[in-house]
Chains A and B, each alone.
Chain A
Amino acid sequence: MKSAFLTDATICIGCKACEVACKEWNEVPADGMEWSGLSYDNTKSLGASTWRHVLFLEQPVVSGPQVADTKDPFRWVFLSDVCKHCANAGCLEACPTGSIVRTEVASVYVQPDICNGCGYCVVSCPFGVIDKRPGDGRAFKCTFCYDRQKVGLMPACATACPTHSIQFGPLEELRERASERLVELQGRGYSDAQIYDPRETSVGGIHAISIILGQPENYNLPPAPEVPTIYLKSAWTSAFVSAAILVAVVCAAFAIS
């Protein structure tokens, strides 16, 4: 079965229960507390010790549901972001130790007993998710609660979510559910609602899709993420051509003298 998340920004109430449940279940260490001043988002981004991140968007939209503040109205939108578990995952392709693997539920899993902290996955993730944990040295990200899934439990975040904004299930079923929900939302006046599920790019689909209001960029979601291995062919071609030219130049230099 291909497990997946469907995270619906139109239902999320920004309670951060998912962040807490994830930290507790996975025993993810604390990574500091800083008042950001960016709405109620003091988490700011996913990272080595943040595997669920609730975004707080304040959109300059003054009509429709979810509008806050009567004096100076704005639309307040929340979305719980997570590792996308890409079909073609940059981190998995880049990993030189084979620590990052694809599991039987189609998720991307970092084996902590193999990772040697080389850091190449960090620059290979087009979503900026995986990172090296300071003090530990290894790379960490969402495990898709692989341990829970092994014994038939839902991931901790989806279990804790009080509004069913985070739904867990088979990918195809969730895609259908997302389409139905989109039609419903548009019927209710959310004209800028859309499904974030980039399938047309080299990433080839993700296992953590979402329903968002507005553009993916507003949520720091790349509109067309590419897996960096697509750059290998042109880079290696350049390396071989340049090496051949170098050999010719050195031969010429010794032949002349």
Chain B
Amino acid sequence: MTPPSNREAPEKATEERLQQIRREAAETSARGPAHNTQIQGHDSYYGLPALKPPVWTWEVPLYFFIGGISGVSGCIAFIAHVFGADPAMIRLLLWIALGGAAICPALLIADLGRQSRFLNMLRVFKLRSTMSMGAWILVAFSGCAFLAVVSNEVELLGYRSTIVSALRWLGEASGAMTGLLLASYTGVLLGATAIPVWFTHRRFLPAHFLTSGLGGSSAILELSGFFMPATQTLGFIAAGLEIVFEALFEIRKPDVEAPLHQGRSGIAFRIAGLLEGATALMIRIIWGSAPGGRRAAAICFLAGSLLSRYAWIWAGRVSAKQSDVPFTLQRSGGAKTLSR
């Protein structure tokens, strides 16, 4: 039996709650009859959101950023090897790939609602689920990067043989392919959802994230002291592309893009675009001959690239709450015809 003293407490709490409810009801009714102020419009249900906003935590955009850099690093390592570039640079690129592959699963698991069940991600192989594809891509990339790093280190230790060399080429080539998938699938992940600002940009997002990964990987090489012409060229191209992307968003501004122009997500998106685009490019043009200038441009690009991943997630949250946009898109056929 529950002691009497404990039984009184919940009753007191209930009474207090009832008082509170009465006060709130009085306040609400003081605003006048509900139907006078809140009568139904034609576009939505009291302007309440018709979609659920993304529930992803801060780890996910950081994962997009790190996954993009390590994936593209794996790709550049292979191409650099083919063109006979500096072995020290190739070694660093392979380690970036493996390091990223080690951090990424930790970030993804941290975001899960039930972290102990992370292995359930590998229960099924589903081509139609981009999240499932992503899990498998990450596993494949980790394996390839590990093989490439180990065989490369073995060769650097002086154990040269046909088998080690073959394993290194195998690891690097498959790492390049899976790395490109890792850096781009995150764009597909956002693009194939019901969130208007994401699905209307499903063609743009993979290109944007790959560009971001390319510039980021090259920026890390420069920050590590590899000031060869190739990293300068890649830095120029990535920043130039980001300026083009930014300009495209400034030219036409449909309602669905409002989260990219207004509010916190809009400010973040603009600052990110300016950092990785115009600022990084201007520093390279004016001060690009000096290592300090290239370092500054690299830092600008990395900061902009990281911020832009967060801006896209924040924009998705705002977009899900735009009550009329999904309906207007559907009525105009925009949800379907834009898709094919």
A-B contact count (CB 8 A): 286
Closest to B43 in A: A217
User: Given the known A-B contacts A38-B38, A232-B128, are A250 and B75 also in contact in the complex, defined by CB atoms under 8 Å?
Assistant: yes
Question: 1/0 per position for B291-325, CB-CB distance to A under 8 A?
Answer: 00000000000000000000000001000100110
Question: 1/0 per position for B123-139, CB-CB distance to A under 8 A?
Answer: 11010111110110000
Say if the beta carbon of A183 comes within 8 Å of chain B. no
| A118, B111: Cβ atoms closer than 8 Å | yes
Say if the beta carbon of A69 comes within 8 Å of chain B. yes
Q: In angstroms, how far is the closest chain B Cβ from the Cβ of A196?
A: 13
| A137, B112: Cβ atoms closer than 8 Å | yes
* B123 CB contacts on chain A under 8 angstroms: 97-98, 114
User: Given the known A-B contacts A97-B123, A118-B111, are A132 and B55 also in contact in the complex, defined by CB atoms under 8 Å?
Assistant: yes
Say if the beta carbon of A229 comes within 8 Å of chain B. yes
User: Given the known A-B contacts A223-B327, A224-B330, A225-B330, are A58 and B114 also in contact in the complex, defined by CB atoms under 8 Å?
Assistant: no
User: Given the known A-B contacts A94-B129, A120-B131, A235-B203, are A72 and B35 also in contact in the complex, defined by CB atoms under 8 Å?
Assistant: yes
CA distance A44 to B185 in the complex (A): 35
Say if the beta carbon of A45 comes within 8 Å of chain B. yes
Say if the beta carbon of B160 comes within 8 Å of chain A. no
| A230, B339: Cβ atoms closer than 8 Å | yes
User: Given the known A-B contacts A201-B336, A257-B228, are A246 and B194 also in contact in the complex, defined by CB atoms under 8 Å?
Assistant: no
User: Given the known A-B contacts A58-B35, A225-B330, are A254 and B80 also in contact in the complex, defined by CB atoms under 8 Å?
Assistant: yes
Closest to B127 in A: A232
* A138 CB contacts on chain B under 8 angstroms: 113-114
Question: 1/0 per position for A116-128, CB-CB distance to B under 8 A?
Answer: 1111101111111
* B180 CB contacts on chain A under 8 angstroms: 243, 246-247
Which residues 155-209 of B have a CB within 8 angstroms of A? 176, 180-181, 183-185, 187-189, 191-195, 198-199, 202-207
Which residue of the partner chain, among B52, B75, B204, contacts A246 with CB atoms under 8 Å?
B75
Which residue of the partner chain, among A95, A120, A219, A257, contacts B229 with CB atoms under 8 Å?
A257
Q: In angstroms, how far is the closest chain B Cβ from the Cβ of A20?
A: 18
User: Given the known A-B contacts A119-B56, A123-B316, A217-B44, are A247 and B75 also in contact in the complex, defined by CB atoms under 8 Å?
Assistant: yes
Chain B residues close to A by CB (< 8 Å): 21, 24-25, 28, 31, 33-36, 38-40, 42-46, 48-56, 72, 75-76, 79-80, 82-83, 85, 111-115, 117-118, 120-121, 123-124, 126, 128-132, 134-135, 176, 180-181, 183-185, 187-189, 191-195, 198-199, 202-207, 210-211, 214, 228-230, 233-234, 237, 316, 320, 323-324, 326-327, 330-331, 333, 335-336, 339-340
Chain A residues close to B by CB (< 8 Å): 33, 35, 37-39, 41, 44-45, 47, 55, 57-60, 69, 72, 74, 90, 93-99, 114-120, 122-132, 136-139, 201-202, 214-215, 217-220, 222-226, 228-239, 241-243, 246-247, 249-257
Beyond A96-B121, A138-B114, A223-B327, list 8 extra A-B contacts (CB 8 Å): A41-B46, A58-B39, A69-B35, A98-B124, A114-B117, A115-B114, A122-B55, A254-B82
Q: List 19 A-B contacts (CB under 8 A).
A: A45-B48, A74-B35, A116-B112, A116-B118, A116-B121, A118-B112, A123-B195, A124-B192, A125-B52, A214-B40, A217-B327, A225-B330, A229-B128, A234-B203, A235-B205, A242-B211, A249-B214, A249-B237, A257-B230
